Amino acid sequence: MKLRRAFRHCAIATGLLLILANCSKSDRAKIKEPPITGKPSDPAIELKAKWKPGSRYVIRMELTRENEVRRANRPQPDHQQERLAHEVAVTVTNAAANEKLGVDLELLALAVNLSVGERDLVNYDSQSEVVGAMGSPIAESLEKLVGGHIYCLLSPNNKVLKAEGMKEFTARAGSTGAGSGTASDPRRGTAASRRFFNPDFFKPILDLSGMPDRPVRVGDSWSVQREAGSGPSGPLLANATYTFKGWQEHEQRKCVRIDITGTLVPKMGNASAPIGNSKVTGQCWFDPALGFSIETVFDQMYTITNVVAQPRPGTNGPPQKVSSPARQTLSIKLTEFMAL
């Protein structure tokens, strides 16, 4: 499914964001889903996730975030909403030495919406005829990212060892050209691209480390720590428990249904991130025949502690800190697979 379908109503993107951000577990339960089958006495199976050399995967990743922004001398907080979605083609180029894999990531499509209160700061969809880049320097910069490539080296257990081309990728946003809204200051376009893209942002797509290292039966659980997207202050990790609930049809494939619970922590090197009271829930549908997750969805809730006012010079008053609730959903979905 292309991004055009997913965002064909981008003209009312703010309304969509409200719906998505407030879609609770109980809301999803109202949608009738295929039955979950299987029982603990069934034979144990191995769940091995792997990239297949000489194959092309098209993956859509969506990140929706909603939080409050508090400012000094303002009684009410501003409601901030952010949605970023992109389609990426991941081509496994070769099996390098020591079973390492080389992969090429190409950005096929991109949609970004960022609003504070009633004001849209960024609203762009590369596949929409309604929400384009004309008239917005930042959107024009983001438009230039489509078609860009990043090259990564993966370990045998699917961890990202090295990423190349990120500097060139973000620099595309600041390139000048006829009709470019950023020609007067290319740095503005590059800064805008870095606001939404960095090496950590693509790691949830490439990191397949969620499957157990042993055969499992229905009802078995195992611990996982994996990339969980970026919060307001930087990249996050999910410390989660995965539970094999049974078998369920998903996207016309017979999948292992895995339920996810856990908490969020800042990634190492990002210890100052003001994350607290976190809770993670989600589901994963894994296709053993393909050796790949068809879809993984995380629903993440936490609080953010911000300094909204510093003491006046010459006074001893402490900084004013306020904790605000935040919520984000992260969805990673395989939309196309092809053996080259």
pLDDT tens track for 255-274:
999 999 999 887 765 555 56
Higher pLDDT, 231 or 53: 53
* Helix boundaries (H) for the chain: 3-6, 13-21, 25-29, 137-143, 166-171, 186-196, 203-206
Report the predicted TM-score, pTM, of the whole model to 2 decimal places. Answer: 0.78
Residue-level pLDDT at 75:
65
**b/e per residue, 11-40, with b = 16+ CB within 10 A?**
eebbebbeeebeeeeeeeeeeeeeeeebee
Give mean pLDDT, residues 200-225.
88
Question: Which tokens belong to 85?
Answer: 């979605």
Contact residues for 6 (Cβ-Cβ < 8 A; gap 6+): 60, 62, 85, 111
Planar angle of CA 216, 333, 195, nearest 5 degrees:
120
Give mean pLDDT, residues 53-63.
93
Write the CATH number of the domain with boundaries 45-339.
2.30.230
Confidence of residue 180 (pLDDT cuts 50, 70, 90): very low
Higher pLDDT, 235 or 196: 235
**b/e per residue, 44-78, with b = 16+ CB within 10 A?**
eeebebebbbeebbbbbbbbbbbbbbbeeeeeebe
- Interval 107-134: pLDDT, tens: 999 888 888 877 777 888 888 765 555 5
CA 109 vs CA 51, 63, 141: distances in Å: 22, 14, 14
- Interval 264-314: pLDDT, tens: 887 765 555 567 788 999 999 999 999 999 999 999 888 877 655 555 666
Residue-level pLDDT at 202:
76
Give mean pLDDT, residues 174-178.
56
